[in-house]
Amino acid sequence: MQLYNTLSADERAELIDNAGKQRLTLSFYAYAKIENPKKFRDELFIAWNPLEVLGRIYVATEGINAQLSLPANEFYAFKDTIEMYSFMKGIRLNVAVEHDDHSFLKLTIKVRDKIVADGLDNKTLDVTNIGIHLKAKEFNDLIEDPNTILVDMRNHYESEIGHFKGAITPDVETFRESLPIIENQISEHKEDKKLLMYCTGGIRCEKASAYFKNKGFKNVYQLEGGIIEYTRQVKELGLESKFIGKNFVFDHRLGERITHDIISKCHQCGVPCDNHTNCDNAGCHLLFIQCDSCKEATQNCCSIECQEIINLPLVDQVNLRKGLKNGNMIFRKGKSEKLAFKTETKNIAQTHSTDNASRENKVQIRKKIAVKKVLIGTGEHYFVKSEVGLFKITNHQIKVGDTILISGPTTGIQELVLSQMMVNGSESEVAIAGDKITIKLPFRIRSSDKFYKILS
């Protein structure tokens, strides 16, 4: 019996595209005593795999924490599978503000010690003694109370792109870091102030409220359902959104637009921007904020060094990664010394000279790369029988006669001259941003592949 994912991300993306079904992205959590998490995990996989549920789910003796997507037409069948368990009957499902069919590309259900890593000793903490849950209207009202301390229980890279006005936003990378830091910061107000907390979907506040009550805080409140449910209620009731910017989410989207406010800056040049990305160097994969201009100049990399690496042959890139730990095992999210603007503004005030430095840095990047190319778009699908690749053009334009380069971890680096293409279903000489093109290709492409135009 299958109890694990057997398809690659590319294969799953292709199946999703071919199915043509609208998918819902949602999240939920529940604290409950689970005697046998391994058995519970296997039961969920067996129930969800036939429903085409994809996502990242953690189960532990203390409960379940799930972020996932599923075909919209399977929603009620999915609800039936979770409501078979008494502790999940009538559970609130936080449906995403924005949907993306590719938000998750595999089903991963893992057994963990805890559903949220908090570093706490559950033997001495009563997790049922929690704060008062508030709906959006009540939450907005309490924010206006001068005796309220509003605290963001998320990490720095989450609050940087969006938060509630006037909130304390700790400069932390993990939930376990934030608890003692916040306690120390507001310890003198255990009895005379109202402690009001929020997070993405409510799960961190659930544990944090129990923690702070255990530490002697008398008036503890939390946003029910987190930012996701708050946004739904704000829209439904026509309330003012006190949350500004984007809500960071832990899937392929990396963020949901809540308001049009852009409160953060590109980590490479400092222009207003709130688009998170991961460095294209697979040996780095640093999470940081990058504007479209820097994305083009650096080929979606965080530094000159990483840009040089992605222009090497694939075999050389793999050799460079051997023996190295990846991702946030090397770099702190959004805090690498490679991020010029982020590093400089941490130590000094933003000045005109900072802008000049970032512009000079971009010039150096362009000079350092021998083969100049511009990112034109991304791969979307490969039609095996007809040997045709489908691409979405996102920047600039491409025309017949241009030299193009297609690259990806599996595809490698493929360079060819564009001799013919179909644009939005009809043969054409030119394609611009927003168009979808198909090209006859003797090799298979993946949805993660990048599509470049060679400039020189």
Which residues does residue 4 pair with via DSSP β-bridges, in sequence order?
none
Distance (Å, whole) CA 263 – CA 228:
19
Beta strand 403-408 with 450-454 is: antiparallel
**How far, in Å, CA of 197 to CA of 153, rounded?**
7
> Catalytic residue among 199, 279, 291, 294, which?
199
Give the DSSP H/E element, type plus range, for residue 47. Answer: helix 37-48
Residue type, 408: G
The 8-class DSSP code of residue 271 comes to -
Dist. CA 168–CA 163, nearest whole Å: 9
- The count of other CB atoms within 10 Å of the CB of residue 83 is 12
The 3-state DSSP class for residue 449 equals coil
Task: Identify residue 29 by its one-letter amino acid code.
Answer: Y
**What's the distance, CA 343 to chain centroid?**
22
Pair 9, 105: CB distance under 8 Å: yes
Give the phi and the psi of residue 145 in degrees, each rounded to 5.
Answer: -75, 120
Distance CA 382, CA 443 (A): 9
Q: What is the DSSP annotation of 162-210? A: EEETT-B----SSHHHHHHHHHHHHGGGTTTSEEEEE-SSSHHHHHHHH
Residue 324: strand, helix, or coil: coil
Distance CA 51, CA 387 (A): 30
What is the three-class DSSP state of 405? strand
Answer yes or no: are the C-beta atoms of 120 and 62 closer than 8 Å.
no
Catalytic annotation present for 199: yes
Residues annotated as part of the active site: 199
